Amino acid sequence: MQPYDFGPDRFDLDAPEDREVLRFVLSQALYGEATGVYCGKSLYAARSLEAARFYVRQAHEELNHLELFARIFRSLDMTPAPAHWVIKLLSAHNNYYPLKVLMEHALGEGMVLDIFRDVLMQTLPENDPRGAEIAKKLAVVCKEEESHIAWGEKETKRLLAEHPWLRHPYYGILEIQLLIAPIATRAFAARIAGHRVLRHLPAFVTHVQKRVWAQGQELGFVPAERPGLGYRLFAMAWAAALFVRSQFARSTSTLEKTYMTELGFADVR
Ligand SMILES: [Fe+2]
Ligand SMILES: [Fe+2]
Protein backbone atom coordinates (compact mmCIF):
# COMPACT_ATOMS: atom_id res chain seq x y z
CA MET A 1 0.00 0.00 0.00
CA GLN A 2 1.25 3.49 -0.88
CA PRO A 3 2.32 5.65 2.08
CA TYR A 4 -0.02 8.47 3.13
CA ASP A 5 0.80 11.62 1.16
CA PHE A 6 1.31 14.78 3.25
CA GLY A 7 1.90 16.78 0.06
CA PRO A 8 4.14 19.81 0.60
CA ASP A 9 3.13 20.28 4.28
CA ARG A 10 6.11 20.33 6.63
CA PHE A 11 6.81 21.09 10.29
CA ASP A 12 8.85 24.16 11.14
CA LEU A 13 11.60 23.03 13.52
CA ASP A 14 11.78 26.50 15.08
CA ALA A 15 8.04 27.19 15.61
CA PRO A 16 7.08 26.51 19.29
CA GLU A 17 3.75 24.84 18.39
CA ASP A 18 5.40 22.51 15.85
CA ARG A 19 8.16 21.68 18.30
CA GLU A 20 5.56 20.72 20.89
CA VAL A 21 3.88 18.30 18.44
CA LEU A 22 7.22 16.81 17.39
CA ARG A 23 8.29 16.47 21.01
CA PHE A 24 5.14 14.45 21.69
CA VAL A 25 5.66 12.15 18.68
CA LEU A 26 9.39 11.67 19.32
CA SER A 27 8.76 10.99 23.03
CA GLN A 28 6.44 8.10 22.11
CA ALA A 29 9.10 6.80 19.70
CA LEU A 30 11.81 6.99 22.37
CA TYR A 31 9.66 5.06 24.87
CA GLY A 32 8.79 2.45 22.22
CA GLU A 33 12.46 1.92 21.41
CA ALA A 34 13.26 1.55 25.13
CA THR A 35 10.76 -1.33 25.25
CA GLY A 36 13.04 -3.02 22.70
CA VAL A 37 14.85 -4.56 25.70
CA TYR A 38 11.76 -6.76 26.16
CA CYS A 39 13.12 -8.97 23.39
CA GLY A 40 15.58 -10.26 26.01
CA LYS A 41 12.63 -12.24 27.38
CA SER A 42 11.79 -13.43 23.87
CA LEU A 43 15.38 -14.63 23.43
CA TYR A 44 15.09 -16.63 26.66
CA ALA A 45 11.87 -18.26 25.42
CA ALA A 46 13.03 -18.66 21.78
CA ARG A 47 11.61 -21.87 20.33
CA SER A 48 14.16 -22.27 17.56
CA LEU A 49 17.65 -21.18 16.60
CA GLU A 50 16.10 -18.95 13.97
CA ALA A 51 13.97 -17.18 16.61
CA ALA A 52 16.99 -16.84 18.92
CA ARG A 53 19.05 -15.31 16.12
CA PHE A 54 16.26 -12.89 15.30
CA TYR A 55 15.89 -11.69 18.91
CA VAL A 56 19.63 -11.19 19.33
CA ARG A 57 19.64 -9.03 16.19
CA GLN A 58 16.50 -7.19 17.26
CA ALA A 59 17.96 -6.37 20.69
CA HIS A 60 21.02 -4.88 19.02
CA GLU A 61 18.94 -2.85 16.57
CA GLU A 62 16.38 -1.54 19.10
CA LEU A 63 19.12 -0.35 21.45
CA ASN A 64 20.71 1.47 18.52
CA HIS A 65 17.32 3.04 17.70
CA LEU A 66 16.97 4.17 21.31
CA GLU A 67 20.28 6.02 21.21
CA LEU A 68 19.54 7.35 17.76
CA PHE A 69 16.30 8.95 18.97
CA ALA A 70 18.21 10.41 21.92
CA ARG A 71 20.55 12.03 19.37
CA ILE A 72 17.52 13.35 17.46
CA PHE A 73 16.26 15.00 20.69
CA ARG A 74 19.67 16.58 21.24
CA SER A 75 19.96 17.78 17.64
CA LEU A 76 16.61 19.57 18.09
CA ASP A 77 17.60 20.88 21.52
CA MET A 78 14.59 19.14 23.07
CA THR A 79 14.02 16.99 26.15
CA PRO A 80 11.65 13.99 26.04
CA ALA A 81 8.26 13.90 27.77
CA PRO A 82 6.76 10.78 29.43
CA ALA A 83 4.99 8.31 27.13
CA HIS A 84 1.21 8.40 26.57
CA TRP A 85 -0.69 5.60 28.37
CA VAL A 86 -1.93 4.22 25.02
CA ILE A 87 1.65 3.77 23.85
CA LYS A 88 2.56 2.07 27.14
CA LEU A 89 -0.42 -0.27 26.76
CA LEU A 90 0.28 -1.10 23.11
CA SER A 91 3.98 -1.74 23.66
CA ALA A 92 3.64 -3.94 26.77
CA HIS A 93 5.50 -7.26 26.57
CA ASN A 94 3.48 -10.44 26.23
CA ASN A 95 4.91 -13.81 27.28
CA TYR A 96 2.34 -15.70 25.20
CA TYR A 97 4.14 -16.10 21.87
CA PRO A 98 1.10 -16.26 19.50
CA LEU A 99 -0.10 -12.89 20.85
CA LYS A 100 3.35 -11.41 20.98
CA VAL A 101 4.19 -11.95 17.30
CA LEU A 102 0.93 -10.43 16.12
CA MET A 103 0.45 -7.61 18.65
CA GLU A 104 4.04 -6.48 19.07
CA HIS A 105 5.72 -7.24 15.74
CA ALA A 106 3.16 -7.43 12.94
CA LEU A 107 0.59 -4.85 14.13
CA GLY A 108 2.55 -2.85 16.73
CA GLU A 109 5.76 -2.31 14.82
CA GLY A 110 3.63 -1.97 11.67
CA MET A 111 1.99 1.13 13.14
CA VAL A 112 5.35 2.37 14.41
CA LEU A 113 6.61 2.24 10.83
CA ASP A 114 3.54 4.23 9.71
CA ILE A 115 4.56 7.01 12.11
CA PHE A 116 8.28 6.92 11.29
CA ARG A 117 8.05 6.55 7.52
CA ASP A 118 4.76 8.22 6.65
CA VAL A 119 4.62 11.02 9.23
CA LEU A 120 8.13 11.90 10.38
CA MET A 121 10.07 11.28 7.18
CA GLN A 122 7.56 13.20 5.06
CA THR A 123 6.90 16.14 7.35
CA LEU A 124 10.43 17.07 8.43
CA PRO A 125 11.68 20.02 6.41
CA GLU A 126 14.33 18.92 3.83
CA ASN A 127 15.65 22.47 3.55
CA ASP A 128 16.61 22.49 7.25
CA PRO A 129 19.90 20.61 7.85
CA ARG A 130 18.49 19.19 11.11
CA GLY A 131 15.46 17.76 9.22
CA ALA A 132 17.65 16.20 6.51
CA GLU A 133 19.98 14.65 9.13
CA ILE A 134 17.05 13.17 11.11
CA ALA A 135 15.51 11.74 7.90
CA LYS A 136 18.82 9.98 7.18
CA LYS A 137 18.78 8.38 10.66
CA LEU A 138 15.11 7.42 10.29
CA ALA A 139 15.74 5.71 6.95
CA VAL A 140 18.06 3.24 8.76
CA VAL A 141 15.50 2.68 11.55
CA CYS A 142 12.68 2.08 9.03
CA LYS A 143 14.63 -0.61 7.16
CA GLU A 144 15.20 -2.48 10.42
CA GLU A 145 11.60 -2.05 11.60
CA GLU A 146 10.50 -3.55 8.27
CA SER A 147 12.45 -6.70 9.08
CA HIS A 148 10.90 -6.90 12.58
CA ILE A 149 7.43 -6.68 11.02
CA ALA A 150 8.38 -9.35 8.47
CA TRP A 151 9.35 -11.69 11.33
CA GLY A 152 6.02 -11.06 13.08
CA GLU A 153 4.08 -11.69 9.88
CA LYS A 154 5.95 -14.89 9.09
CA GLU A 155 5.39 -16.24 12.61
CA THR A 156 1.73 -15.13 12.63
CA LYS A 157 1.11 -17.06 9.39
CA ARG A 158 2.90 -20.14 10.71
CA LEU A 159 0.90 -20.11 13.96
CA LEU A 160 -2.37 -19.60 12.10
CA ALA A 161 -1.63 -22.61 9.90
CA GLU A 162 -0.85 -24.70 13.02
CA HIS A 163 -3.79 -23.41 15.10
CA PRO A 164 -6.60 -22.17 12.81
CA TRP A 165 -8.74 -21.18 15.85
CA LEU A 166 -6.32 -18.30 16.43
CA ARG A 167 -8.03 -16.42 13.58
CA HIS A 168 -10.89 -15.45 15.94
CA PRO A 169 -8.85 -13.84 18.74
CA TYR A 170 -6.42 -12.43 16.14
CA TYR A 171 -9.31 -10.66 14.44
CA GLY A 172 -10.52 -9.40 17.83
CA ILE A 173 -7.05 -8.02 18.60
CA LEU A 174 -7.00 -6.14 15.32
CA GLU A 175 -10.40 -4.57 16.06
CA ILE A 176 -9.29 -3.60 19.59
CA GLN A 177 -5.96 -2.12 18.43
CA LEU A 178 -7.75 -0.08 15.76
CA LEU A 179 -10.08 1.26 18.47
CA ILE A 180 -7.34 2.10 20.97
CA ALA A 181 -4.51 3.45 18.78
CA PRO A 182 -6.30 6.64 17.55
CA ILE A 183 -6.84 7.71 21.21
CA ALA A 184 -3.19 8.79 21.26
CA THR A 185 -3.98 11.41 18.59
CA ARG A 186 -6.73 13.05 20.68
CA ALA A 187 -4.20 15.36 22.32
CA PHE A 188 -4.22 17.32 19.05
CA ALA A 189 -7.95 17.23 18.29
CA ALA A 190 -8.49 20.91 19.08
CA ARG A 191 -5.64 22.04 16.82
CA ILE A 192 -6.37 19.93 13.74
CA ALA A 193 -8.20 22.59 11.74
CA GLY A 194 -5.65 25.37 11.99
CA HIS A 195 -2.37 23.49 11.46
CA ARG A 196 -0.97 22.60 8.02
CA VAL A 197 0.38 19.18 9.11
CA LEU A 198 -2.14 18.28 11.84
CA ARG A 199 -5.07 18.85 9.47
CA HIS A 200 -4.00 15.57 7.79
CA LEU A 201 -4.54 13.62 11.03
CA PRO A 202 -8.10 12.28 10.44
CA ALA A 203 -7.23 11.13 6.88
CA PHE A 204 -3.95 9.64 8.13
CA VAL A 205 -5.77 7.64 10.86
CA THR A 206 -8.19 6.31 8.20
CA HIS A 207 -5.22 5.42 5.99
CA VAL A 208 -3.57 3.44 8.83
CA GLN A 209 -6.84 1.63 9.59
CA LYS A 210 -7.14 0.62 5.91
CA ARG A 211 -3.52 -0.49 5.79
CA VAL A 212 -3.86 -2.59 8.96
CA TRP A 213 -7.08 -4.08 7.61
CA ALA A 214 -5.32 -5.09 4.37
CA GLN A 215 -2.42 -6.48 6.42
CA GLY A 216 -4.88 -8.66 8.41
CA GLN A 217 -6.39 -9.92 5.16
CA GLU A 218 -2.97 -10.74 3.79
CA LEU A 219 -2.13 -12.61 7.00
CA GLY A 220 -5.34 -14.59 6.57
CA PHE A 221 -7.54 -13.78 9.56
CA VAL A 222 -9.55 -10.79 8.29
CA PRO A 223 -12.50 -11.62 6.01
CA ALA A 224 -13.16 -9.75 2.75
CA GLU A 225 -16.17 -7.96 4.27
CA ARG A 226 -16.19 -6.53 7.78
CA PRO A 227 -18.21 -9.04 9.83
CA GLY A 228 -21.37 -8.03 11.72
CA LEU A 229 -21.37 -6.70 15.26
CA GLY A 230 -22.13 -10.14 16.72
CA TYR A 231 -18.96 -11.73 15.36
CA ARG A 232 -16.88 -8.63 16.14
CA LEU A 233 -17.93 -8.75 19.81
CA PHE A 234 -17.33 -12.50 19.93
CA ALA A 235 -13.83 -12.08 18.46
CA MET A 236 -12.99 -9.17 20.78
CA ALA A 237 -14.21 -11.12 23.83
CA TRP A 238 -12.01 -14.08 22.77
CA ALA A 239 -9.08 -11.72 22.26
CA ALA A 240 -9.62 -10.16 25.69
CA ALA A 241 -9.88 -13.61 27.33
CA LEU A 242 -6.67 -14.74 25.61
CA PHE A 243 -4.96 -11.52 26.67
CA VAL A 244 -5.96 -12.10 30.31
CA ARG A 245 -4.71 -15.69 30.06
CA SER A 246 -1.47 -14.45 28.50
CA GLN A 247 -0.79 -12.33 31.58
CA PHE A 248 -0.33 -15.59 33.51
CA ALA A 249 1.79 -17.27 30.80
CA ARG A 250 5.25 -18.16 32.06
CA SER A 251 8.34 -17.45 30.08
CA THR A 252 10.02 -20.83 29.64
CA SER A 253 13.17 -21.74 27.79
CA THR A 254 13.17 -24.71 25.37
CA LEU A 255 16.32 -24.37 23.27
CA GLU A 256 18.40 -26.37 25.78
CA LYS A 257 16.04 -29.29 25.07
CA THR A 258 15.97 -28.93 21.29
CA TYR A 259 19.45 -27.63 20.47
CA MET A 260 20.69 -30.91 18.96
CA THR A 261 17.95 -31.16 16.37
CA GLU A 262 18.06 -27.37 15.87
CA LEU A 263 21.76 -27.74 15.02
CA GLY A 264 21.07 -30.63 12.65
CA PHE A 265 22.28 -33.46 14.92
CA ALA A 266 20.26 -36.50 15.88
CA ASP A 267 18.77 -36.07 19.35
CA VAL A 268 20.71 -38.50 21.57
CA ARG A 269 18.71 -38.08 24.78
FE1 LIG B 1 12.95 0.20 16.82
FE1 LIG C 1 11.44 -2.79 15.99
pTM above 0.85, yes or no: yes
Question: How does pLDDT run across 82-120, given as a tens digit for each residue?
Answer: 999 999 988 888 889 999 999 999 999 999 999 999 999
- Taking only the tens place, the pLDDT of each residue in 150-197 is 999 999 999 999 999 999 999 999 999 999 888 888 888 888 888 999
Distance CA 244, CA 96 (A): 10
Residue 143 C-alpha to ligand 2 middle, in angstroms?
10
Mean pLDDT over 138-158 rounds to 97
Q: How far is the CA of 36 from the centre of ligand 2 (A)?
A: 7
User: What are the residues whose beta carbons fall under 8 Å from the beta carbon of 147, sequence distance 6 or more?
Assistant: none
The count of structural domains within the chain is: 1
Average pLDDT along the chain: 94
pLDDT at site 49? 96
End-to-end CA gap in the chain: 49
pLDDT of residue 1: 81
How remote is the CA of residue 51 from the centroid of ligand 2, in Å?
15
Domain presence at residue 11: no
Mean pLDDT, to the nearest integer, of 145-151? 97
Nearest ligand to the CA atom of 106: 2
Within 10 angstroms of residue 250's Cβ, the number of other Cβ atoms is: 7
Q: Which ligand is nearest to the CA of 33?
A: 1
- The answer to whether residue 267 scores a pLDDT higher than 80 is no
Helix (H) or strand (E) holding 215: helix 201-219
- Residue (of 193, 201, 104) closest to 156 by Cα position: 104
Would 130 be classed as within a structural domain? yes
Does the pLDDT value for residue 2 go beyond 90? no
- CATH code for the domain in which residue 233 is found: 1.20.1260
Task: Quote the ligand 1 centre to 172 CA distance (angstroms).
Answer: 25
Q: Using the mean position of ligand 1's atoms as its centre, give its distance from the Cα of residue 214 in Å.
A: 23
Question: Residue 53 is part of which domain span?
Answer: 16-250
- 259 found inside a domain: no
Q: What is the pLDDT of residues 58-67, one digit of tens each?
A: 999 999 999 9
In a domain, 145, yes or no: yes
User: What's at 77, amino acid-wise?
Assistant: D
pLDDT of residue 5: 94
For residue 250, the Cα-to-chain-centroid distance in whole angstroms is: 23
Ligand nearest to the CA of 34: 1
Residue 265 lies in a domain: no
